Amino acid sequence: MQHFHTHYGPWALVAGASEGLGAAYAEALAKRGLHLILIARRASKLDALAKVLKDNYPIEVKTYALDLSDKEEINRFLSQLDVDPGLLVYNAAYAPIGYFNDLSEDDLQKVVAVNVLGPLLLTKSLSTKMIARGSGGIVLMSSLAGSQGSPKIATYAASKAFNTILAEGLWEELRDKGIDVVASCAGAIRTPGYELAKNAKEAPGTLDAARVAEDTLNALGKGPVVVPGRTNRFFRFLMGRVLPRKLAISIMKNNTKALS
């Protein structure tokens, strides 16, 4: 815990922190003694989470209601930020469910804005200061859906593939500068959003949000990619290394066709 605080603290920024996995990351970091900057769209949920964390841990918490699909809002937030986070967790994501031809241009643009441009802007700004300091960490949330084409969530899956590849490149670029980078390729996670979208039966390997947050944070400094959960690691190996690509895509189609 002390090493974690020394190398990544004293402040951590969690993007997409209002509930679910983002809230689990916030609590996991609070347990490690880091002060928190929490950003998401819904101020009321951020404020409620901040109160719980401050009541339970001896930390400071700053909250910012921010639309991560808005480049100008992100840049304005970064220009006004009065502390330098030593750790970035980019958990925010936009995942419209539907076949590509049925999605609007606004949906497609928002996927790119939140899932691609958002992590790029925050990573660029915060990593520059981490390089100057000689320490820091970056967590980019990816997904097993990004390991192959995933019908009905094709654009979301493609954006998650982007984050995995970005993290792998930055891991090599930044590790000699004292900065640890990891992409967390998670499977299904028990979050409010998943409960709304899932089939009647849970996907194999579904994990609690707290488990995903802990596994990911514990993986910092150990390599460019972590896959939380033994079942999910097996499926990633199977889908990416063993099965023909066409069969892997077909399996994903069967897994996503009932999403709504």
CATH of the domain at 28: 3.40.50.720
pLDDT at 199 over 70: no
The single residue listed with the structure tokens 């999910």 is 232
Average model confidence (pLDDT) for the chain? 94
Output the CA–CA distances (angstroms, integers) from residue 131 to 99, 115, 176, 180, 224, in the order listed.
41, 24, 10, 11, 18
> Residue 34 region, left (φ>0) first, then alpha (ψ -120 to 50), else beta?
beta
Most confident stretch, 73-87, 199-213, 241-255 = 73-87
Which among 45, 110, 152, 160 is annotated as catalytic? 160
Whether 54 is a known active-site residue: answer no
Question: In the annotation, is 156 catalytic?
Answer: yes
Number of independent structural domains in the chain: 1
* pLDDT tens digit sequence for 149-167: 999 999 999 999 999 999 9
Burial 168-183 (b: 16+ CB within 10 A, else e): bebbeebeeeebbbbb
For residue 170 the two structure tokens come to: 């930055």
3-class secondary structure, 29 = helix
pLDDT more than 90, % of the chain? 87
Residue 198 has pLDDT above 60, yes or no: no
Q: Coil, strand or helix: which one is 11?
A: strand
Contacts (Cβ under 8 Å, ≥6 apart) of 207? 186, 187, 188, 189, 190, 228, 229, 232
Catalytic residue among 8, 25, 94, 156: 156
pLDDT digits (tens, 9 = 90+) for 4-60: 889 998 999 999 999 999 999 999 999 999 999 999 999 999 999 999 999 999 999
Longest C-alpha distance within the chain, in Å? 51
Range of the domain at 111: 2-256
